[in-house]
Amino acid sequence: MRGGGAAEIDGAIDDYLDHLTSERGVARNTMEAYARDLAGFAAFLARRGVRAVGRIGPGEMRGHVAALAERGLSPRSQARALAAVRGFVRFLVRERRLADDPAAKLRIRRPPPRLPRALGKGEAATLVASPAEQERNGLRDRALLELLYACGLRVTELATLRGEQLNLQAGFVTVAGKGGKERVVPLGRAARAALEAYLRLPRGRPGGRTSPFVFAGQRGRALTRQAIWKIVRRRALAAGLGVRVFPHMMRHTFATHLLSGGADLRVVQALLGHAEVGTTQIYTHVTPVRLREVHRRHHPRA
């Protein structure tokens, strides 16, 4: 164990974050969120004069929850921050730095599930067709939008996509998802055609070499997540869509339209790369029209 004082808690947090990275393969964005939440917890403990992990008890946990509420955080943000702290103290118990879990009996109101916003089929078709071939970056943006809609990729998966992950002849893409888990997703005809047209363009690097990334920006570097977000937003505005569109909405749209078309929930789970089917089940709440239609057509008492 590290030495006493405030450094002990900071050191324990570092150990926990190292554990998440090396042993659990937690995604970088999740790690950054956990680090922020745990830094807030450490600051709260310091204000209460708690400078050793062995002094973290139920009172500190309840006090931290109350402090989060006093800051005006939404129930959802409170739950996310508490999840990081729960994981941290459980880690301390497993490492025998704490005798008991101080969060074991802590309960907060679970926030209601936030239903994902999805584009309608007409809206999605209008968006992916909006970049004209003759426009600057038109072929690139068309391929990017088609791939988001056809495969339901996370924005990080799209930004880091490399040429060797595409198999245009067979019509699928191998996606490197969260925790290094790979999944294979079909491309579909429209996305494959858009990619073939785009990949005929030079995606240069200094020295005339081709960039290894499918969606490359200046000097052959991969487009950043922020750049992709701006492309989607700009194209949605140009297409005249009256909603705020962002890359993850395309993922919601992909899942919603599959389920609306009668796809099996387990298949959609595999295509999205969800570890638990419960994560995918939220999409069943946004397809009531299709569910009613199936019930009406197939149930003898409908």
As annotated, the active-site residues are 154, 178, 248, 251, 274, 283
C-alpha to C-alpha distance for 279 and 270, rounded to whole angstroms: 11
Residue 44 CA neighbour count, 13 Å, CB half:
22
Nearest to 158 by CA among 176, 142, 138, 182: 176
CB-based contacts of 271: which residues, under 8 Å, 6+ apart? 151, 152, 183, 185, 254, 255, 258
Q: What are phi and psi of 217, to 5 degrees?
A: -105, -140
Nearest to 69 by CA among 81, 60, 78, 79: 78
CB-based contacts of 174: which residues, under 8 Å, 6+ apart? 165, 167, 182, 183, 184
C-alpha to C-alpha distance for 302 and 295, rounded to whole angstroms: 6
For residue 196, give the amino acid letter: E
